[in-house]
Copies of this chain bind each other. A is one copy, B any other.
Amino acid sequence: MEKFVFFGGKGGVGKTTVSCAYALKCAEAGLDTLVVSTDPAHSTADVFDQAFGDDPSAVDGHEGLWAMEVDPDEEVERHMREIRRRMNEQVSAAIVNEIDRQIELAHRTPGAYEAALFDRFVQVMREADDYDRVVFDTSPTGGTLRLLALPDFLGEWIERLVAKRTKSVDLFEKAAVGGREARRKLDEDPLIAHLQGRKEKFEFAGRTLREDAAFFVVLNPDELSIRETERAVAEVAEQDLGVEGFVVNRVTPAPDDDERGRGATWLRERVATERERIDEIDREFDEPVVAEVESRVREVKGDLLAAVADELAVDVDVASAEA
């Protein structure tokens, strides 16, 4: 398995549960494992009955397991502050006010946080030297994955800007005495440096996601979930990334063979419908169903997590990345 493991899928299918169970499995196999939760409902805290912050902290009672919770709102704040600071540095004072208003406007606009979140993911991946495995309880979605195309796009922009600026610096040099000063200015151009930084960041992200990351889709055995999965697989494929397989979560248990009554009938029919859906997944996708996890009567936490981890037939081996 690759170092970075993402469990994607639509909301409510149980990504956090599956991620925590898998992280637990990895830790129990002796890997130093970090689970990164992004759920605004902070459910990693519920699963382990322990509060986590923006930096990794050890999970009580589980050796080799760390967890962190990324707060998307806070990431947006940070992002906006950074943009504002940079703008103030680079732009003539005259239009700073107008830009401040625009930033505020953008901040009120929904969705800024997906971008901020992706930035944070990249940072976590960059600083993950201490861990053998990092498990994310979500996967970048279509809009975010499209950010991986940014390096090409920014590259072009940077080239055009450099060409433009080189020209003006050349003119300046021809007119000026010495000229060394002007040339140095181009190297230090803060806008170009910033764009270059962004470009490198997204190049790193693209490279890491392609070479050292595995994507799983968590789904429930119902039609809607399968349809969403088609979209998720297509979006991931669009960026030359591959989905390793599917984790079918919340599979209804069958009653005993000799059970009769309203409950048993309901369960049997439900199990049959779900079996149809799982067969459909097998038929429609190239990627395998790697695990089926039974639906629990209560929320998965404490000892139940270990039981789920036992059912989660997802490989933890580090060496298989090279296979």
Q: Which residues of A contact B (CB under 8 A)?
A: 10-13, 40-41, 43, 46, 101, 104-105, 108-115, 118, 141-144, 146-147, 149-150, 153, 157, 220, 222-225, 227-228, 231, 253-256, 258-264, 266-267, 269-270, 272-273, 297-299
Q: Which residues from chain B contact A255 at a C-beta distance below 8 Å?
A: 261-264, 266
Q: How far is the CA of A222 from the CA of B115 in the complex (A)?
A: 30
Q: List 21 A-B contacts (CB under 8 A).
A: A12-B13, A43-B224, A46-B223, A46-B224, A108-B146, A109-B115, A110-B118, A110-B141, A110-B142, A110-B146, A111-B115, A111-B143, A113-B143, A222-B299, A223-B299, A255-B263, A255-B264, A259-B261, A263-B263, A263-B264, A273-B298
Q: Which residues from chain B contact A43 at a C-beta distance below 8 Å?
A: 224, 227
Contact B256 A263 (CB under 8 A): yes
Q: How far is the CA of A258 from the CA of B259 in the complex (A)?
A: 10
Q: Which residues from chain B contact A10 at a C-beta distance below 8 Å?
A: 11-12
Q: How far is the CA of A146 from the CA of B76 in the complex (A)?
A: 15
Contact A109 B143 (CB under 8 A): yes
Q: How far is the CA of A179 from the CA of B116 in the complex (A)?
A: 50
Q: A261 contacts which of B142, B157, B256 (Cβ < 8 Å)? A: B256
Given the known inter-chain contacts A11-B11, A254-B263, please indicate yes or no for A108 contacting B150, CB distance below 8 A: yes
Q: Which residues from chain B contact A11 at a C-beta distance below 8 Å?
A: 10-12
Q: Which residues from chain B contact A143 at a C-beta distance below 8 Å?
A: 108-113
Contact B112 A111 (CB under 8 A): yes
